[in-house]
Amino acid sequence: MNKRAWIISALALLLALLLFFLFRPASVDSSDLLITIDQEPVALHTLLAPEQTGLRVTLTHGEESLLDLPFGRPCQIRILQPGGAENILRLTETSVWMESANCTTQDCVHMGEITRENLDIRPMGGFIICLPHGLTVEVHST
């Protein structure tokens, strides 16, 4: 990837984050969220396999971290907010992507998958952002 592409990618990420913080939805108490992993309810602030190092998948709502999972743990995560906002995140052994969302823009769904191979070259890096629902997914190393 050439220098110009890196600059454009960095600017796109900064713009998305700026828009996220400027136009995030009205505050929703995270205790009102229903989060399931493979259809089983989970407690907020769940940290799975904290002793593992390597890539992690962190789910954030607004400014609050909700889940921290190891990359490569296959599962489906469903986030249901008051008012019916819903996102479904899919994790496989090799990738993470927003499988579906009932937001109007569908930008998070169209951001595609994050893999080990494309983490450093994706325009959004390790982020998937659902601006209308205030959700951020970040794949990062520990």
Q: What is the pLDDT of residues 125-136, one digit of tens each?
A: 999 999 999 999
Query: Is the Cβ–Cβ distance between 42 and 36 less than 8 Å?
Result: yes
Residue 36 is predicted with a pLDDT of 81
d(CA 129, CA 111): 8
Mean pLDDT of the chain: 84
CATH assignment at residue 91: 2.60.320.10
The fraction of the chain above a pLDDT of 90, given in percent, is: 50
Q: Which of 101, 64, 79 is nearest to 34 (CA)?
A: 79
Query: What is the domain extent for residue 136?
Result: 3-141
Q: How many domains does the chain have?
A: 1
Beta-carbon contacts of 45 under 8 Å, excluding residues fewer than 6 positions away, are 65, 66, 67
pLDDT tens, 109-127? 999 999 999 999 998 999 9
pLDDT tens, 6-45? 788 777 777 776 666 666 555 555 556 788 888 887 766 5
Q: Three-state DSSP class for 132? A: coil
Find the Cα–Cα–Cα–Cα dihedral 109, 114, 85, 74, rounded to 10°. 120
Residue 121 is predicted with a pLDDT of 92
How far is CA 97 from its chain centroid? 8
d(CA 89, CA 123): 19
For 77-105, what is the mean pLDDT?
94
For 57-65, what is the mean pLDDT?
90
